[in-house]
Structure formats: structure tokens, C-alpha cells
Structure 1
Amino acid sequence: MPDELDKEIRDELRALPNDLADKIASHLVAAERALGDDDPELAYEHAKVARRFAARIGVVREAVGLAAYRAGQYAEALSDLRAARRLTGSDEFLPIMADCERGLGRPERALDLVRSPEAERLDRAGRIELAIVESGARRDLGQHDAAVITLQRLPELRVPEPRPWSARLTFAYADALAQAGHLEAATDWFERAMAFDEDGETEAAERYAELTGAVIEDVEELEDDESFEDFDDAEHDVDDEAGDLDALDTDDDADDDEDGDVLAAEAVLVDDADEDDDDEDIEENPDLTPAVTQRPDVTPVVGADEPAVAVADSAERGATGEKPVAGATGASSKDAAVTEGVDDEGDDIEGDILGPGGGRVRLEPGMAPAFIEPDFGDVNAGDSGDDLDDDDEPMDKPDKSDKRKP
């Protein structure tokens, strides 16, 4: 048997067979949970199942009557509560029975229950609940001032400390004042009822808003709205930041494009200026060799600025039959091969160049030779090596550090 049931209910159900008691107990627990979830219709259905198996158990009839009352089934509620009073002998639910009479449109019968001898046996909380029902019945009969006086005579109305009945009592009194036309006093008492009603048991906040025009929002709903607003603000902030970043990226791309165009234009101007300077130097000094503009992707070669005298001496020694100095022939042949690839205007080398054997040699980055055309002068075949100065010494073998890198 579930422990959620009160001990009194469990004790009464022990008179039934175990399997039946467990089944009834499970439906009673389900009904209680449904009432806690504010689903009185479902609670009433579970209670009716329990009544079908245990109609002679007083606590079962009480549970059915309470569920029917919460579901608005006042006739069924009144019938079950009357049966429960006969079975248990308790007048605990007399205020609910009187309110069911009001719900059925019979306020006079409600007042009869209020004046009945059973009402004298109620405890303090029961008497307060019965007074609230009586005030409502007086209003149903159009006795508005009597409804106000019915609650005014209760000393519990003036207790400042919260009690289990404080919210319901102050709300009923404020409602009676409003029905009687005492709106200013009703506003004050609705405000007081809101202070007592922390669980939202009554409609004090709504009635106060109607009288004052103020907007009263539920605390939980307000927190949910604020959380959604914070989320929307954060989402808008993220979108704004993303838009700003996109704008910055677009501006940066535009700036990069402009900078690239400017640099390209400046590079073209510099190249044109260099070519013009080279042309002017050639026109002013015809003996100078036009220099080939070095390609930007070619690595400068060590020894590219060697003087042309070494090449010229090597060629003259070859013409006179002397044995060339080691290393000079290779340099001369490479220079001659490069010279064939250069036109008179000193244009850039494009593509392959001729090698020493007449083949095509691919010019790779890092293989650029010295672009200096040798000037052989007037060398005749009949000249002998005696024309050379006796003081001239053979060219020293170039250092390994001056060799061209492959």
C-alpha cells in the first residue's frame, strides 16, 4: 500500500482484501496527484473507480466528494459528502456541502446548513470557512451589507500575522466590500489579500488590477519573459557583431585590393623607369653592354658582377693558341651562350637558352649567369702571343667561393 496515503486512510483500507486495498489505494493516490497538478477532472475519474470497489468506505466517499467539488460536479459532490458524513459521523466537510448548495443555485439551503447544530461542532478553521460561505450566500440573495457584516464580526479578520485561512478570508471580505460599493476599502483589502496569498490561491491580484488599473504579473511568468528578452538581446548582439565583422572583412578586402592595385601600378612604373634609364645609358655610352633585367623569380648568382677583362683575356689566349687557364673556358662559353640569348635592346630572357653543345638549356631559378657581353676588340688571326705584355701573368684560378652555384 502506498505510503503517500494518510495513516487514517490506510487503516480503513486494511479491512479489505490486500489486492483490492492496493488497487483502491493506487487510485486514491492518483486522484490526489491529479488535484496537485490542477487536473480535477482526472482526479474525479480515479476517485470514481475507487468508489466502485469500496462504496462503503467513508474515506473513499470523502475523496470522491472532494474531487467532484473541485471538478464543478456539485450534485455528485454533495451526494458523496453526505454519504461520507453518515459513514464517518464527521462534520468536517460541512462548509463544502453548503458551498455545493450555492453552486446548485440554492443559497437558502446553504444558510440552513450554516444555522444547523452540526455547525456548532466545527473547529476554528471550519467556522471561518462556513462564515465565508454564508457571506457568499448573502450576496447571492442580494444582501450585500449583510455579507460585509458577516465577515466583519470575525476577530480573525484583524489578525496581522498570516494564518492558513488569512488569504481566503481577506479576499472574501474585499469581494464583499466591492459588491457593496465600497471600492476604496475593497482596494485596500485586495492589496492585503495579495500579501497573504503567496501561492496564488485566490484572484486578489486580478481584482486589485481591475480596481486600480495596475498591471500585476506573475513572478514566474515575469522571470520567463525576462529570460526570453535577455536571450533575444544576446541573439541581436551576436547578429550585430557578426554584421560588423562582415563589414570589416569587406572593407579589409577592398583595402587589400586597392593596395594591390597601387603596388602593381608602382611596380610597372619602376620597371618602365629602369628600362628608360638603361636605354638612356646605352645611348649616351655606346660601349656599355646593355644589362638584362633580372627576373624577379631568379636568385642572384655569386660572381655575376665579374669584370669582362677575364673573359676577354681568355678569348685572346685561345686565338693565339695558348692554353687557356683552367676555369676561364667554362666561364667564357657560358657567357657566350647567354649572350646569344640576349638581343641588342637588352630584352628579358624568356624560355630556354642555348648551351655549349648547341642544345637547349632550361633556365631555372638560381641558375642566372652573368649578363655581361665581352668586347674582343680587333683580334687578328696572325697575331702571336708576343703582343701580350711580358709582365702579364696568367689569371689565377678562381676561388671555389666564386664558382657559380648549379
Structure 2
Amino acid sequence: MPRTLADLVAQHLVASGRFLDDDPELAYQHARTARRLAARLGGVREAVAITAYLAEHYDEALTEFRAVRRMTGNHEVIAMMADCERALGRPDKALALTKDKHVHDVSEPTQIELLIVAAGARRDKGQTAAAIQMLEVPELTKRTRAEWLPRLRYAYADALAEAGRTDDALVWFHRAAGVDGDGVTGAAERAAELEGLEFTDLDEDDTVVDDEYFEDEDTAETTDAADAAEETDEDLDAEEVVDGEDDVDVVDVDAEDAEKSEDSEVVGELTDGESKGSEE
């Protein structure tokens, strides 16, 4: 593949991965563009298969997963293939895939996913008791941080709830929530629902009231600050007036002192003259 074409395909695959969680449909479109440019690459076909699966284009996803198995020999996609069959309303084909000859060669997470899908297919067929029995495996109580554990416990709890075993279902929803730190399964919400609890958000009206309250509070604070500033200005003006009056008084006192001094000097001169006249 030419370098320019390879770079373009890589860009679409990177974009597909970037949008995978937030916008599966857009991720799928990028993957399809990459497939149009490089349909013979197994990695490209796998990207198309996964994004189509997440975007709920199950027919195309199933076709692409088959192509991936044929081109790469990767059997880890069996669980997603079986789930596609379920989504397309074909539980029997889903169960057939869970018995594929390569099932024992896949990783533990894929085997658990296959078990969950198989139990779901049984429930699709109305065989809830069989689904519960299938999920009663040692892995349910296994101490592990594996991502599949919350999903396995949730599937078991959900099957129990469908069978009317509410108390048992509540126990396992709580156990699923206990290992689901990211809240992916929604087990905590299901447990609360069974317990008759409800999670409510604040209404928009309450938010508006709060906003109005804070706006009034801010306005009151602003008004108080303005009144305080005006009072301060008035006090300062009064002080300036008082200071001005003091200055006037000081000037008047100085003028009076000067006049008295001049009068004293005149009296002194007259007295001196009279004294000299007497001596003569």
C-alpha cells in the first residue's frame, strides 16, 4: 500500500477509535471509509465489525466478523457474533455459535461473554430457569477485578428477577454493584428499584428559584455596599467642612494677633515719644 494511502487509512482508524465511546455511528462511518480504501486488511475489517456492532448495525457487523475470522483466524469475536444473532431475533443460531469448536481456544473474558449471551438466548426462548442454571458457575463468587465479573453477576441477578425471585435478585444486584466501580451495568439502580427507592434530580423550576434567590441576595449585597459607600462619602465631606472651618478660625486668630501686635508697636512708639518729651 502506498505511504500516502496508508496514512489516510490510519487517520480514519484513529478517528474511529476516538469516537467509539461517544459517537459509535460516526466511528462506524470512519471505519467504513477505511474499508473502502483498504478492504483486504484484517484490522480494518475488524474495526468495521466492532463499530457496526456498537452502532447496532447487526447484519453488517455479523458479515464483517465472519470476514475477520476467515482473514485473521481471530476467534475472539465469537461472543459478539452470537450477540448479533440474538439481536437479529435468532436465538438458536446464537446458541449454536456458543458451541463452536473454537470456543475452548478463546480467552476467559470471551468465554464469560459467551456464557452471558447463551443465557440471554435461553431467556429469549422463554427458558429462564435454564438461563439461571447456566449462570450458576464458580466465577460468580470469584475474587477478581476482571471487567467481566459485574456483567456476569448482573446477568444472573436479571435472570433471577425475571423468574420472580426478587430477594435473590436484590442480593446479586448489590453484589454486582459492589464490583462495578464505573457503574457500567446499572446494578445499583436496579437494586434501588427493587427496594422501592427512586433517584430524582432537581426540577428546572427549583433551579430557577435558586437562581432568583441568589440574584436577589447579590442585589441586596450590592445595594448595601452602595449605601455604605454613600455614607462614607458623606462622612468624608463633613470632615472636610469641619477642617475648613478650623482653618478659617486659625486665619482669623492670626489676623487678630497681627492687629494687636501692630497696636502694641504704635502704643510703644507713642510712649517712647512722650518719655523723651518729659526728659527735655
**TM-score w.r.t. length of structure 2:** 0.76
2:207 aligned partner: none
Runs of 5+ consecutive residues of structure 2 not aligned to the other structure? 202-210, 243-247
Matching residue within 235, 252, 263 for 1:299: 252
2:9 aligned partner: 24
1:52 aligned partner: 36
Matching residue within 142, 163, 166 for 2:146: 163
Q: Which structure: greater helix fraction?
A: 2
2:204 aligned partner: none
Asked if 2 retains the 8 angstrom alpha-carbon contact of 1:135 and 1:150, the reply is yes
Provide, for residues 332-362 of structure 1, a one-character-per-residue CA deviation record: whole Å limited to 9, x for no partner: xxxxxxxxxxxxxxxxxxxxxxxxxxxxxxx
1:181 aligned partner: 164
Distance 1:394 1:209, change over 3 A: same
Q: Could you tell me how far 1:72 is from its partner in structure 2? A: 0.7
1:199 aligned partner: 182
Runs of 5+ consecutive residues of structure 1 not aligned to the other structure? 1-15, 219-230, 264-294, 315-324, 329-391, 398-406
Does residue 90 (structure 1) correspond to residue 74 (structure 2)? The answer is yes
Distance in 2 between the 1:255 and 1:85 partners? Answer: 89
Distance in 2 between the 1:110 and 1:60 partners? Answer: 25
1:394 aligned partner: 273
Q: Does the residue aligned with 1:201 lie in a helix, a strand or coil?
A: coil
Distance in 1 between the 2:50 and 2:265 partners? Answer: 123
Distance 1:216 1:198, change over 3 A: farther
2:206 aligned partner: none
Distance in 2 between the 1:73 and 1:393 partners? Answer: 130
Q: Does the residue aligned with 2:122 lie in a helix, a strand or coil?
A: helix
2:86 aligned partner: 102
Q: Could you tell me how far 1:110 is from its partner in structure 2? A: 0.9
Q: Does the residue aligned with 1:161 lie in a helix, a strand or coil?
A: coil
Provide, for residues 132-186 of structure 1, a one-character-per-residue CA deviation record: whole Å limited to 9, x for no partner: 001111222222222211111x211111332231121111112111211122222
2:194 aligned partner: 211
Matches within 5 A, 1:111-260: 111-152=95-136, 154-214=137-197, 241-248=221-228
Provide, for residues 75-123 of structure 1, a one-character-per-residue CA deviation record: whole Å limited to 9, x for no partner: 1100110111111222210110010011111112111212332333333
Q: Could you tell me how far 1:240 is from its partner in structure 2? A: 5.4
Asked if 2 retains the 8 angstrom alpha-carbon contact of 1:27 and 1:50, the reply is yes
1:61 aligned partner: 45
The one-letter code sitting in structure 2 at the alignment partner of 1:162 is R
User: How many correspondences in the alignment?
Assistant: 258
* Structure index of larger Rg: 1
Q: Percent identity between the aligned chains?
A: 45
Asked if 2 retains the 8 angstrom alpha-carbon contact of 1:44 and 1:64, the reply is yes
**TM-score w.r.t. length of structure 1:** 0.54
Distance in 2 between the 1:151 and 1:310 partners? Answer: 126
Q: Could you tell me how far 1:68 is from its partner in structure 2? A: 0.1
The one-letter code sitting in structure 1 at the alignment partner of 2:66 is R
